[in-house]
């Protein structure tokens, strides 16, 4: 979900208004995903190294997260009618008490929902995720829950913060063409990668459909490659 | 004008079918709607194809008028070619930013056998030779070439032999013999070593899937052994420690630019850890040769704003 601030700057507004627009775009995109039958959506809301931004902006983002997490969990149509389950992924120890409580609230409120799963990565980095998985594997061997010989790719993958299902499509908006430390383990497993040159609040249904159609056209080739490897 | 009239007629027919409202004509309405959608999509596809063809024509014209990438390193050393090569070298040197470490993702051998991959690729050995030459031309010190299935590692000796005697590589290095270090899964070979130099002119690593997930598994096992032997506490396994253990012993940075030479925009289990902040460029469908694809990727990289975490 990249490009909120540049979207705001383009309209001569403050950066925080871009983040608010980004949230409303997220709500729209989630509706489309739900209507299209997408079972799992992961969104990159805040990177761990975004703490390097100005304290004012970080505070704005934290306040926005706190209020919107509660709003999503309590009032949104997606949760009430469609049973979306919210999971907040990342290193929560870096968050303030208020945001941690909001995250906990959103997860508890929706934990029994059986609809689309929404992973909100906040604050997240893929290298932190992989390091945590390695640490958990080592801890499990140390406590006897896992044998040393059982340390393999599956053991690591099951301990990731987003263990599955396999990522099908990765989209990055704003025209930047890098992963920026997002879902690296998951993305390299034959995820279909699209970089879209549009700011996140401008991401439209047309953009989404184009991506889905091009993925559909490539689907058979992707499956064939996966079969080749088995 | 004709297209406009035709489009309006179709819409009128669709509207009439909609307004008629008879249950018996439901099939006709559906067919008209399907037909209209199909026409719109086909028109959009045609417009897009014309646009892309136009773009390709513009690019080809520029290339013909200026620099033919294929000819520059493979043609004989005429005065004209030498001048153009110097022109290209100056152009590359003038780019505002160039990667110190370039990674290239090649398709697996079976995929090469069964798919055309845009006609850019020839064989593993030829492709490594071209990539090495372009790396030298662009003064890229570190080049990592990835193929999931170790087809490059299996061709190690052939690749080393080719690079040792390559005229293309020499041309890219101003007619001199470069000092190349080639490594692949534990094998290291210094090609055309200059005994006086402390650092190779280019270091080429041949990567496979083994450099990715399996390396993280090996690290986990190693750390587990250290914890079992009480040399390390589990809580000490931080991101910084993992980064340190995965660091290249030669101290190279992660690739700043990754060029994907495949029709599918998938990175085929490329090592995840080094990919953190790499720019990923898929070979342009308008590229006429592998060298052209590399050149376009470097130009694309030169224009990128580095905005990490900002």
Question: pLDDT tens across A192-221, in order?
Answer: 999 999 999 999 999 999 999 999 999 999
Instruction: Give the pLDDT score at B193.
Output: 59
Residue B112's pLDDT band, with cuts at 50, 70 and 90, is confident
Instruction: Give the pLDDT score at A181.
Output: 95
CB-based burial of residue A63 (10 Å sphere; 0-12 exposed, 13-18 middle, 19+ buried)?
middle
**Cβ <8 Å between B277 and A179:** yes
Partner residue facing B266 (CB), from A128, A181, A192: A192
Least confident residue range of B107-111, B254-258, B291-295, B306-310: B306-310
Task: Give the Å distances, CA to CA, from A85 to A69, A73, A77, A124, A162.
Answer: 12, 9, 12, 19, 14
**Cβ <8 Å between A188 and B268:** yes
As a whole number, mean pLDDT of residues A25-51 equals 93
pLDDT of residue B61 exceeding 50: no
**Cβ <8 Å between A130 and B275:** no
Q: At what angle do helices B124-137 and B156-164 cross, to 10 degrees?
A: 50
As a whole number, mean pLDDT of residues A144-156 equals 96
Instruction: Give the pLDDT score at B72.
Output: 73
pLDDT of residue B195 exceeding 60: no
d(CA B83, nearest CA chain A) in Å: 34
Residue B9's pLDDT band, with cuts at 50, 70 and 90, is low
Q: Which of A114, A119, A105, A112 is nearest to A30 (CA)?
A: A119
As a whole number, mean pLDDT of residues B283-292 equals 82
Instruction: Give the pLDDT score at B251.
Output: 77
Instruction: Give the pLDDT score at B157.
Output: 95
Q: Which of B38, B218, B265, B271 to substitute to test the interface with A, most A CBs within 10 Å?
A: B265
List A124's β-bridge partners, or say none. A47
Which residues in chain A have their CB less than 8 angstroms from residue B220's CB? 134, 137-138, 151, 155-156
**Cβ <8 Å between B237 and A52:** no
pLDDT of residue B304 exceeding 90: no
pLDDT of residue B8 exceeding 80: no
| Structure letter (DSSP) for residue B282 | E
Give kind and range of the element (H or E) at residue A219.
helix A205-228
Instruction: Give the pLDDT score at A138.
Output: 97
Instruction: Give the pLDDT score at B23.
Output: 46
Least confident residue range of A124-128, B6-10, B186-190, B257-261: B6-10
More reliable by pLDDT, B73 or A133 = A133
Task: Give the Å distances, CA to CA, from A38 to A29, A33, A103, A120, B95.
Answer: 11, 5, 23, 16, 43
How do strand B202-207 and strand B279-282 relate by DSSP bridges?
A: unpaired
More reliable by pLDDT, A158 or B174 = A158
| Residues A92 and A121 sit within 8 Å (Cβ to Cβ) | no
Instruction: Give the pLDDT score at B26.
Output: 53
Q: For the stretch B112-138, what's the b/e string if a residue is b when 16 or more beta carbons lie within 10 angstroms of its beta carbon?
A: beebebbebbeebbebbbbbbbbbbbb
Residue B24's pLDDT band, with cuts at 50, 70 and 90, is very low
Signed CA dihedral, B54, B58, B63, B64: sign only: positive
Count of C-beta atoms within a 10 Å radius of residue B223: 24
User: Could you give the residue numbers annotated as active site of A?
Assistant: 2, 50
pLDDT of residue B226 exceeding 90: yes
Instruction: Give the pLDDT score at B35.
Output: 75
**Cβ <8 Å between B276 and A218:** no
For residue B59, the number of C-alpha atoms closer than 13 Å in the C-beta half-sphere is: 16
DSSP per-residue string spanning A77-136: HHHHTT--EEEEES-GGGS-HHHHHHHHHHHHHHTT--S-EEEEESSB-HHHHHHHHHHH
pLDDT of residue B57 exceeding 90: no
Chain B residue with the nearest C-alpha to that of A91:
B239
Chain B residue with the nearest C-alpha to that of A171:
B265
Instruction: Give the pLDDT score at B70.
Output: 65
pLDDT of residue B22 exceeding 50: no
| Residues A110 and A118 sit within 8 Å (Cβ to Cβ) | no
Residue B259's pLDDT band, with cuts at 50, 70 and 90, is very high
Q: Which of A104, A162, A99 is nearest to A130 (CA)?
A: A162
As a whole number, mean pLDDT of residues B250-258 equals 89
- Three-state DSSP at A163 gives coil
More reliable by pLDDT, A78 or A182 = A182
As a whole number, mean pLDDT of residues B168-173 equals 89
CB-based burial of residue B245 (10 Å sphere; 0-12 exposed, 13-18 middle, 19+ buried)?
middle
**Cβ <8 Å between A188 and B227:** no
- Three-state DSSP at A196 gives coil
Instruction: Give the pLDDT score at B62.
Output: 46
List A86's β-bridge partners, or say none. A118
Q: Which of B41, B224, B271, B284 to substitute to test the interface with A, most A CBs within 10 Å?
A: B224
Instruction: Give the pLDDT score at B49.
Output: 59
Which residues in chain A have their CB less than 8 angstroms from residue B111's CB? 225, 228
Distance separating alpha carbons of residues A135 and A131, to the nearest angstrom = 6
d(CA A121, nearest CA chain B) in Å: 15
**pLDDT > 70: percent of chain B:** 76
As a whole number, mean pLDDT of residues A5-10 equals 90
**pLDDT > 90: percent of chain A:** 77
pLDDT of residue B265 exceeding 60: yes
- Mean of pLDDT over chain A: 93
Instruction: Give the pLDDT score at B1.
Output: 57
Q: What is the pLDDT of residues A76-123, one digit of tens each?
A: 888 888 899 999 999 999 999 999 999 999 999 999 999 999 999 999
Residue B65's pLDDT band, with cuts at 50, 70 and 90, is very low
Partner residue facing B219 (CB), from A134, A179, A181: A134
């Amino acid at each position: 979900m990249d490009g909120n601030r540049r979207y705001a700057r383009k309209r001569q507004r403050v950066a925080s208004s871009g983040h608010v627009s980004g949230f409303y775009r997220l709500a729209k995109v989630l509706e489309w995903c739900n209507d299209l039958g997408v079972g799992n959506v992961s969104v990159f809301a805040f990177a761990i190294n975004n703490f390097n931004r100005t304290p004012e902006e970080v505070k704005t983002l934290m306040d926005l997260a706190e209020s919107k997490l509660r709003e999503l969990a309590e009032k949104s149509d997606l949760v009430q009618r469609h049973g979306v389950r919210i999971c907040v992924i990342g290193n929560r120890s870096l968050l303030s008490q208020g945001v941690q409580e909001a995250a906990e609230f959103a997860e508890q409120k929706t934990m029994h929902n059986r609809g689309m799963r929404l992973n909100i990565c906040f604050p997240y980095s893929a290298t932190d995720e992989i390091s945590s998985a390695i640490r958990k594997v080592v801890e499990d061997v140390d406590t006897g829950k896992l044998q040393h010989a059982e340390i393999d790719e599956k053991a690591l993958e099951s301990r990731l913060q987003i263990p599955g299902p396999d990522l099908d499509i990765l989209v990055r908006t704003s025209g930047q063409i890098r992963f920026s430390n997002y879902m690296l383990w998951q993305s390299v497993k034959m995820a279909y990668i699209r970089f879209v040159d549009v700011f996140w609040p401008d991401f439209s249904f047309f953009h989404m459909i184009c991506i889905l159609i091009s993925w559909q056209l490539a689907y058979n080739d992707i499956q064939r490659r996966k079969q080749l490897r088995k | 004008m004709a297209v406009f009239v035709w489009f309006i007629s179709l819409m009128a027919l669709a509207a009439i079918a909609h307004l008629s409202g008879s249950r018996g004509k439901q099939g006709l309405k559906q067919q008209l709607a399907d037909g209209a959608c199909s026409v719109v999509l086909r028109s959009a596809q045609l417009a897009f194809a014309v646009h892309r063809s136009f773009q390709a024509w513009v690019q080809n014209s520029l290339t013909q008028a200026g620099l033919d990438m294929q000819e520059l390193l493979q043609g004989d050393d005429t005065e004209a070619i030498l001048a153009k090569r110097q022109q290209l070298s100056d152009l590359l040197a003038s780019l505002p930013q160039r990667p110190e470490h370039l990674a290239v993702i090649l398709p697996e051998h079976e995929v090469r056998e069964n798919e055309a991959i845009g006609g850019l690729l020839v064989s593993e050995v030829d492709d490594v030779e071209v990539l090495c030459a372009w790396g030298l031309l662009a003064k890229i010190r570190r080049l990592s070439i990835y193929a999931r299935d170790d087809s490059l590692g299996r061709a190690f000796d052939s690749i080393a032999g080719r690079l040792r005697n390559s005229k293309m590589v020499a041309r890219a290095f101003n007619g001199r013999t470069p000092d190349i270090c080639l490594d692949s899964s534990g094998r290291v070979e210094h090609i055309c070593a200059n005994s006086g130099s402390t650092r190779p002119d280019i270091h080429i690593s041949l990567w496979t899937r083994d450099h990715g997930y399996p390396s993280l598994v090996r690290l986990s096992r190693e750390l587990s052994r250290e914890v079992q032997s009480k040399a390390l506490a589990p809580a000490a396994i931080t991101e910084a420690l993992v980064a340190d253990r995965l660091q290249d012993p030669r101290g190279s940075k992660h690739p700043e630019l990754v060029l994907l030479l495949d029709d599918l925009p998938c990175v085929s289990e490329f090592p995840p850890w080094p990919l953190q902040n790499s720019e990923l460029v898929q070979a342009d469908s308008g590229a006429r040769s592998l060298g052209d694809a590399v050149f376009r990727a470097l130009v694309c990289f030169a224009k990128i704003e580095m905005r990490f975490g900002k």
